[in-house]
Structure 1
Amino acid sequence: MPNLRVLIVAGLLALAGCASDPPVQIAASTWRQVDRDIAAASRTASEQARAHALQAMQRWMDLVYRQTDDVFIPWFSSYWTQQWLSVKVSWYKLSAEGEKDPTVSRLALYLQEQYQDRVLEPVAEETSPEQIMQHATGLYVRQLDQRLQAIGPRHGVPQEQFDQRLKDIPAIALAPGASLYQLVHADPLERLPAYKALIKRIRTSPGGLGDWSTDPGISSVAQRTSERLVDDLATRGGASAVSALVGGAAGAAISLGVAAFTAAARENERPETEAQLRQNLNAAFDEEWLELMRSPDRGVLTGVHHLSGQIEGGLVWSTPIRFAPPLPPPSR
């Protein structure tokens, strides 16, 4: 029994000694290297997310080009669409009391709505800049998490102390905020309140991923196309007025002749009209594609820029991340 008591007391003393052991002292030079490794992990994860976004955006643009060529341009240049647009212009003119500018603006808006319905929404069923942004941001977090796991053991830093370092590094500035530790330990990531707030802000920001078709480059194509249509319809409206003044069988003959001539002229001009519209749209697409890849505020890498910028900016011994140089125009 005395021996048993001695063993119990010795065991309790040993446990008490372990509980009171101070944490391992990590040299400042080691922490400097830890921070540098975290920064390097962030940059590598950013590059991987950027490569993923680039590939996904090229596929998205190919789908947009194809849908435009196969659906929107044939729809726009068809005879019956042109007739329907003539009716709309006449109605717009009545509402605008004959003024040109309101008529042009309303027709341009209608063309943008048609483009959204016939091109962007069908393509979005497969992919979209908004989806690409979310995938790229999630990929950055996963790749960063994988690289962080090796840093502590590499430098002999106990897991508890390494975790505390991650808790001290901000990852999301948007309220309610989140540390790097919270970011990489969220499971699933989409349930982290600060992450949800970040994604929502990116998605709903004015001129952002959700409404890129209102970009000046795209809307200017609709505006120029609308102006041409209104001018063309005004010319044909003059011929209709002449037939009305003549009246009777002669007026009807003039009207039928103008209609037949207009239909034939439109069919002859159709290849040129389609080529010009395609050229204008492609130029606008290229500019918007570059903007969606480059912009740190409204592009597909906005989430990655926010996270990596916060993380690297919160490190004591590192250089903040720098944005990648502009990309070349997408090739067709």
Structure 2
Amino acid sequence: MNLRSLILALIVALMMALVGCASKNHAPDQTPPVLVSEDTWRQVDWDIVTASLTAKGSAKDYARSSMANWRDLAYQRTEADFIPWFTGYWTQQWLTLKVAWYKVSTGKETDPAKRMANYLQEQYHNRVLDPVAKQIDPGAVMEQTTKLYIQLLGTQLQGIAPRYDVPLDQLDRRFKDIPAIELAPPPNRNASLYQIIHIDPVVKLPAYVALVNQIRNTPSGAGAGPSDASISSVAQRTSEKLEATLPTRGVAGAVAAAVGRVAGTMISLAVSGFGAIAHEKERSEMVEQLRVILSAALDDERRNLMDNPTAGVMAGVYHLSGHIEGSLIKTFTPSVELEPIPQDLPPPGEQPLQDNKSDEQAPSDDGKATE
């Protein structure tokens, strides 16, 4: 073979090699997508439900501990401030005057006990609930509990993909199809499981903000305090007792005659017929009765704040878990034993409360914890 033929053969071979490389580079990817079986998806769905149930249990433990502390502080404040104020001699004189004034100024159209209930409710908030909320706010506990649930849920879900060799893109699509927040009107008030565990911080998610605001603004929601019925019970007894003393104190006539006069004159007339010594004889019994009533009211309120599914401290968790679990649990009924999550995880950005009291360890009427 002469030199010319050799050069021509090399050129042809080089051109064929280049064409082969170009064809290989431009050929479509022939790698088939990973097919996930229906059985695997069912197990993935059940693992999501299991993760939600476990995270919910841990969040409830945190909320229960927080509200036990809230109850303790409210009870201590009630003992230290409200009860001494309410049973004090001069407070009773002032309340007597108010009852008489209600009767004179409103006549039969308005129940004096109802007006007294509003007044005592305001005083209880000012003297007990508002100061306690500066240390433990049930509304803040609700938010922290919801964030803790989301944090623990996201941690649990991270193990699903490697456990079943499910591609992340397919798992993410699964998460996007699972509702987590559904509020009317949509769409900005709705969010998927994928959104709540991937948007960090979750407060950037409009649907989450809308959910928290809805719970906070619900009547008798987190932070509202003991129900009107509890305070009304105190007010009713107070109003009836004070009203019964009006004839002996001469307050009704004094107030009726004093319309338009200065308050100081009316107060002096109101207290003129009733001595401090007589009051002190009745005060210890009054203190015990009030202690029982308000202690029971605080216990009821703590239970309401824990159990109310739309307005309590677990309301956010119940909304999220209800939609996540409800959208999946109908498709299967396997029996799976839950693995508990460590209980020492604080909510995002918060320190855990150093209190392990259970519901059964709330203070008794004398302020001491009971077993």
What interval of TM-score do these two structures reach, taking the shorter chain for normalisation? 0.7 to 0.9
Aligned-residue offset at 1:5: 3.2
- Conserved 8 A contact 2:250-2:273: no
Q: Which residue matches 1:283?
A: 296
Letter in 2 for 1:331: A
Q: Structure 1 residues 240, 170: closer, same or farther in 2, change over 3 A?
A: closer
Aligned residues: 309
How far the C-alpha of 1:235 sits from its partner, in A, is 4.1
Flag the 1:143–1:264 CA change in 2: closer, same or farther, 3 A.
same
RMSD, matched Cα? 2.8
1:21 is displaced (CA, Å) by: 3.5
Larger mean Cα displacement after TM superposition, 82-91 or 211-220: 211-220
Counterpart amino acid of residue 63 in structure 2: A
Q: Give the distance between the partners of 1:113 and 1:6, measured in 2 at CA.
A: 88
Residue 311 of structure 1 corresponds to 324
Question: Is residue 238 of structure 2 the alignment partner of residue 230 of structure 1?
Answer: no
2:23 and 2:219 map into 1 onto residues whose CA distance is 69
How far apart, CA to CA, are the structure 2 residues paired with 1:276 and 1:199? 38
Contact 2:216–2:222 at 8 Å: present in 1 too? Answer: yes
* Pairwise CA distance, 1:298: 2.3
What is the distance in 2 between the residues matched to 1:135 and 1:159? 29
CA–CA distance in structure 1, aligned partners of residues 203 and 251 of structure 2: 60
2:210 to 197, 201, 204: 197
1:110 pairs, out of 108, 119, 123, with 119
Range that drifts further, 187-196 or 115-124: 187-196
CA 1:124–1:4 in structure 2 vs 1: closer, same or farther (change >3 Å)? farther
Task: Say whether the 8 Å CA contact 1:35–1:318 is kept in structure 2.
Answer: no
C-alpha separation between the residues in 2 aligned to 1:319 and 1:77? 59
1:323 paired residue number: none
CA shift, 1:266, in A, is 0.8
Q: Deviation per CA, 1:187-223: give whole Å up to 9, x if none.
A: 2111211111111111111222243434423433333
- Report if aligned partners of 1:93, 1:100 keep a CA contact under 8 Å in 2: no
**CA–CA distance in 2 between the matches of 1:142 and 1:225?**
49
SS of equivalent to 1:304: helix
Aligned runs of 1:177-216 on 2, under 5 Å? 177-216=190-229
Larger radius of gyration: 2
Q: Distance in 2 between matches of 1:64 and 1:235?
A: 36
**2:322 counterpart SS class:** helix
Contact (CA 8 Å) 1:108, 1:225: kept in 2 or not? no
- Bigger drift between 213-222 and 72-81 goes to 213-222
Query: Compared with structure 1, are the counterparts of its residues 238 and 300 closer, same or farther at alpha carbon in structure 2 (3 Å cutoff)?
Result: closer
Q: Whole-Å Cα distance in 2 between the matches of residues 68 and 29 of structure 1? A: 58
Q: Which amino acid aligns with 1:110?
A: Y
| Aligned mates of 1:127, 1:271 — CA distance in 2 | 31
Report whether the alignment pairs 1:30 with 2:35. Answer: no
Match of 2:90 in 1: 80
Q: Partner residue of 1:44? A: 54
Change (3 A) 1:261 1:117: closer
Q: Secondary structure at the match of 1:117?
A: helix
Whether the 8 Å contact between 1:208 and 1:299 is mirrored in structure 2 is yes
- Paired with 1:144 and 1:151, the residues of 2 have a C-alpha distance of 12
Higher helix share: 1
In structure 2, the CA distance between the partners of 1:259 and 1:30, relative to structure 1 (3 Å rule), is same
Aligned counterpart, 1:331:
362
Which residue, 137, 162, 167 being the options, matches 2:171? 162
User: How far has the Cα of 1:149 moved from its partner?
Assistant: 0.6
Q: Secondary structure at the match of 2:275?
A: helix
After TM superposition, give the deviation of residue 295 of structure 1 in Å: 2.0
- Quick one: structure 1 residues 93 and 239, their matched pair in 2 at CA, closer, same or farther if it must change by over 3 Å? closer
Query: TM-score normalised to the size of structure 2?
Result: 0.76
Which residue number in structure 1 is paired with residue 230 of structure 2? 217
Unpaired runs of at least 5, structure 1: 245-254, 321-326
Partner Cα separation in structure 2 for residue 59 and residue 4 of structure 1: 78
Q: Which moved more, 1:264-273 or 1:210-219?
A: 210-219
Describe the shift of the 1:73–1:49 C-alpha distance in structure 2 as closer, same or farther (beyond 3 A). same
The Cα offsets for residues 95-124 of structure 1, whole Å up to 9 and x where unpaired, read as: 123x49622211121011000111000000
Matching residue's letter, 1:314: S
Contact 1:167 / 1:180 at 8 angstroms: preserved in 2?
A: yes
Distance 1:312 1:31 in 2: 15
Counterpart of 2:127 in structure 1: which amino acid?
R
Residue identity opposite 2:303 in structure 1:
L
Q: Is the 8 A contact 1:30 1:155 kept in 2?
A: yes
Over 3 Å counting, the alpha-carbon distance change for 1:179 and 1:125 in structure 2 is same
Structure 1 residues 61-84: Cα deviation after superposition (integer angstroms, max 9, x where no partner): 000000000011111111222222
The DSSP-based 3-state class of the residue aligned with 1:187 is coil
CA contact 2:227–2:301 (8 Å) conserved in 1: no
Give structure 1 regions of 4+ aligned residues with deviation exceeding 6 angstroms: 238-241
